[in-house]
Amino acid sequence: MMFPSDVYTDRRMRLKKELGSGLVLFPANFEVSLNYPANTYSYRQDSHFSYFFGLNHPDYIGIVDVDADKDYLFGDDIDIEDIIWMGDLPTVAEQAGQAGVRETGTLSSALAMLKAAVKKGQKIHFLPPYRSEVKLALSDWLDIPVRELKERSSPELIRAVVKLKEIKDALEVAEIEKAVDVAYLMHTTGMKLCFPGIVEQEVAGTMEGIALALAGPVSFPVILSMDGQTLHNHHHGNTLKEGRLVVMDAGCETQLLYASDITRTVPVGGKFSQRQKEVYQAVLDANMAVIRELKPGIRYFDMHMLAARTLVTGLKAIGLMKGDVDEAVAAGAHTLFFPHGLGHMLGMDVHDLEGLGENNVGYDETISRATAFGTAYLRLAKTLKPGFVLTIEPGCYFIPALIDKFRAEKKFTDFINYDLVETYKDFGGIRIEDDALITANGSRILGKPIPKTIADVERTMTAPREWVKVPGLI
């Protein structure tokens, strides 16, 4: 499955315009062995190769010669052995046509082209590689030691790719929206399983199965736990118990590789306790306050701070915090409960473009990264533009080790009621995450609304199960 070929032609044309000169090398990902050579991980194409060349095939090489204004796809046609084991495939030239590429050749001709470019001193742009197989190949092709590849990757190419990919067009938004619609079924089905006696793995596996059945793989390993105070908890071995909360953070990707990333937090057994309701509402208020204010031209850093102030207001009403809200946030007292950033870009990667450097995608001339605990962890802080797709994911966590540390260091004693906080050490955590598009004048939450008010979550947990296919996927 691919977008129409002119989508890829247009993307490469805009890339050439941004770069002005040189030759750009996009290696497709290779197959990677899992536990013996012929048993490989499920294949995942490189997102940048996919963005510019669309094809979901391993081993190909895409080259954009900016100087000659030519695009190339290199690969070897399959032989009879491949046909016997894997089935027939269109030729490389036919596949290139699907991506609007006219110039094709074998892999060895790609290497000859690269060697010739190196020899004549043509600038070769490549992105920082993240897979060992690709690092070894680039090192071999370009005669660069593996340890120098990152620093010799192209800052101009990074800037150009961020500029193009951070703005999602209507086709891309529709694709992300399909991924959210599948996440709707993953999460609502997960909610209906959160009853005492069920093992977390049963819930996580069911959600992952829905992703695979209706879209593609999960967009990151499912985070699902009663110990939601551990932000990225991949241990799914607990048996659910009445009185606990379950944080479920999961999404899927479509065949075109666009992702969703949704978090919901639910009470085991289907009813929030009074104590859970109070903290839950404070997190939901933070999520909703950001959604109300989200628009182009504002910095996401300021949305993070709005979420922090809203959360502190809620925690003050409960008695967990005290003092002036603005002063508490300015001092960083909220970071005891909310030690991560409000969100990140979402696209073909769940943390879209972060492989090119968090500061290159999340920060701009209007803001640079802070150094203080918590605030330094913001992945996205810069000024928002129409076409950005991002996550909104405030949380509140009771992390016993962090509570002990801050208390021992007498940190934020003007703003935190440690005696009461001590009694929440068995609470776990809460996170509520939605995916949003920045529009011309405001923003829009993507996909079918996934229950998140206290009443809607409780109602959903006891409602009958559904099975809803998303049009345009399978």
Query: Which positions touch Mn ion (CB under 5 A)?
Result: 249, 261, 263, 391, 433
The closest alpha carbon to 226, from 248, 205, 210, belongs to 248
Pairing of β 23-27 and β 124-125: parallel
Q: How far is the CB of 218 from ligand GLY (least distance, A)?
A: 10
Q: Which does 220 bind (CB under 5 to 8 A by kind): ligand GLY, Mn ion, none?
A: ligand GLY
Q: How far is the CB of 309 from Mn ion (least distance, A)?
A: 21
Looking up tokens 């839950």 gives 280
> In this complex, which beta carbon is closest to ligand GLY, that of residue 222 or of residue 325?
222
Count of residues that interact with ligand GLY, criterion CB under 6 A? 7
Rule CB under 6 A: choose which of 352, 433, 434, 435 binds ligand GLY: 433
The closest alpha carbon to 421, from 279, 281, 282, belongs to 279
CA torsion through residues 294, 298, 303, 306, sign: negative
> In this complex, which beta carbon is closest to Mn ion, that of residue 389 or of residue 473?
389
358 contributes a contact to ligand GLY by CB under 6 A: no
Residues 92-131: x/- map of binding to ligand GLY (CB under 6 A)? ----------------------------------------
DSSP string, 341-362: -S--B-SSSSSTTGGG-HHHHH
> In this complex, which beta carbon is closest to ligand GLY, that of residue 266 or of residue 320?
266
> Which DSSP symbol is given to 367?
B
> In this complex, which beta carbon is closest to Mn ion, that of residue 23 or of residue 218?
218
> In this complex, which beta carbon is closest to ligand GLY, that of residue 158 or of residue 259?
259
How far apart, in whole angstroms, are the C-alpha atoms of residue 51 and residue 240? 41
458 contributes a contact to ligand GLY by CB under 6 A: no
Token digits of residue 339: 């030690």
Q: How far is the CB of 321 from Mn ion (least distance, A)?
A: 25
Q: How far is the CB of 190 from Mn ion (least distance, A)?
A: 13
Return the SS3 of 304: helix
Token digits of residue 111: 């290497």
How far apart, in whole angstroms, are the C-alpha atoms of residue 347 and residue 63? 23
Contact yes or no for 378/343 (Cβ under 8 A): no
Plot region of 142 (φ>0 → left; ψ -120 to 50 → alpha; else → beta): alpha
349 contributes a contact to ligand GLY by CB under 6 A: no
Q: How far is the CB of 42 from ligand GLY (least distance, A)?
A: 19
46 contributes a contact to ligand GLY by CB under 6 A: no
Burial class (CB in 10 A: 0-12, 13-18, 19+), 57: middle
> In this complex, which beta carbon is closest to Mn ion, that of residue 175 or of residue 435?
435
> In this complex, which beta carbon is closest to Mn ion, that of residue 233 or of residue 263?
263
Q: Which of residues 229-268 bind ligand GLY (CB under 6 A)?
A: 249, 261
434 contributes a contact to ligand GLY by CB under 6 A: no
Q: How far is the CB of 313 from ligand GLY (least distance, A)?
A: 24
Q: Which of residues 327-346 bind ligand GLY (CB under 6 A)?
A: 344
> In this complex, which beta carbon is closest to Mn ion, that of residue 25 or of residue 247?
247
Alpha-carbon dihedral angle through residues 80, 83, 89, 91, given to the nearest 10 degrees: -10
Contact yes or no for 184/460 (Cβ under 8 A): no
Buried b (16+ CB within 10 A) or exposed e, 17-43: eebeebbbbbbbbbeeeeeeeeeeeee
352 contributes a contact to ligand GLY by CB under 6 A: no
Q: Which of residues 369-398 bind ligand GLY (CB under 6 A)?
A: 393
> In this complex, which beta carbon is closest to Mn ion, that of residue 250 or of residue 336?
250
Q: How far is the CB of 1 from ligand GLY (least distance, A)?
A: 24
**Cα angle vertex 11, ends 8, 15, to 5°?**
140
List CB contacts of 457: < 8 A, sequence separation 6 or more: 191, 264, 266, 267, 272, 451
Integer angstrom CA distances of residue 284 from 119, 190, 230, 311, 343: 59, 19, 19, 9, 15
Q: How far is the CB of 350 from ligand GLY (least distance, A)?
A: 6
Q: How far is the CB of 20 from ligand GLY (least distance, A)?
A: 35
Q: How far is the CB of 120 from Mn ion (least distance, A)?
A: 45
> In this complex, which beta carbon is closest to ligand GLY, that of residue 122 or of residue 359?
359
> In this complex, which beta carbon is closest to ligand GLY, that of residue 71 or of residue 208?
208
Q: Which does 452 bind (CB under 5 to 8 A by kind): Mn ion, ligand GLY, none?
A: none
Count helices and strands in the chain by DSSP H and E runs = 16, 15
Q: How far is the CB of 286 from ligand GLY (least distance, A)?
A: 15
Rule CB under 6 A: choose which of 126, 220, 258, 412 binds ligand GLY: 220
Residues forming contacts to ligand GLY in the complex (CB under 6 A) are 220, 249, 261, 344, 350, 393, 433
